[in-house]
Amino acid sequence: MSDRFYQQMLTSTGWCPGYRATSTVEEYENKFGKIRRKRMAWDDSRKAEAVDLYTSAEPTPETSMEIVADIAEQMGESVNGVRMILTKAGVYVKKTPAARSSSSGNGGGRVSVADAQNTLSNALTDAGLEVDEAIISKLTGKAAVYFTSVIEKLNN
């Protein structure tokens, strides 16, 4: 539509689509929802405030996330933004990951297929059994680790 259409509508009704000056900000927000405002960058005083709030709460690895969430809510910022500021300041206490349990007896780390097959051959030899390399060479690494753990349990 042309500019003429909007001008005629504006003069006759006092409003036209896209013309914000016809209402106050409150009327516009009531009609269309909140106006999205540009977020201001962190200034030094807000960074210092976040660091002070965090350190005064005496964080531990178990309570660190809850403290950061509370600070973010107080300051009206995102949790990730507050965590980033605290990490850059060097005061963020990171939660230690839980130890993963593993079904294999080698600590759960990755083992090459050849190493797993050699370990299985050694376990069979220790058990006094004959090793058939043709069969063992066709096993996958996981299968070799599994059979090694089974044979070691039977030997003990």
Task: State whether the Cα torsion 76-81-82-83 is positive or negative.
Answer: positive
Q: Do 20 and 29 contact (CB within 8 A), yes or no?
A: no
Domain range annotation of the chain: 3-32, 44-89, 113-155
Determine the number of helices (DSSP H) and then strands (DSSP E) in the chain.
8, 0
Q: Say how far apart CA 58 and CA 127 lie, in whole Å.
A: 55
pLDDT, tens only, 92-145: 988 776 655 555 454 556 888 889 999 998 888 888 888 888 999 999 989 999
Amino acid making up residue 80: N
The pTM of this model reads: 0.42
What pLDDT is stored for residue 54 in this prediction?
93
Q: Do 112 and 141 contact (CB within 8 A), yes or no?
A: yes
Neighbours of 137 (CB within 10 A): 12
Q: What is the dihedral of CA 142, 144, 146, 149, to 10 degrees?
A: -140
- Which residues contact residue 63 at a Cβ distance below 8 angstroms, ignoring those fewer than 6 apart? 57
Instruction: State the average pLDDT for the chain.
Output: 81
Q: Say how far apart CA 50 and CA 86 lie, in whole Å.
A: 7
What pLDDT is stored for residue 146 in this prediction?
93
What pLDDT is stored for residue 24 in this prediction?
58
What pLDDT is stored for residue 49 in this prediction?
93
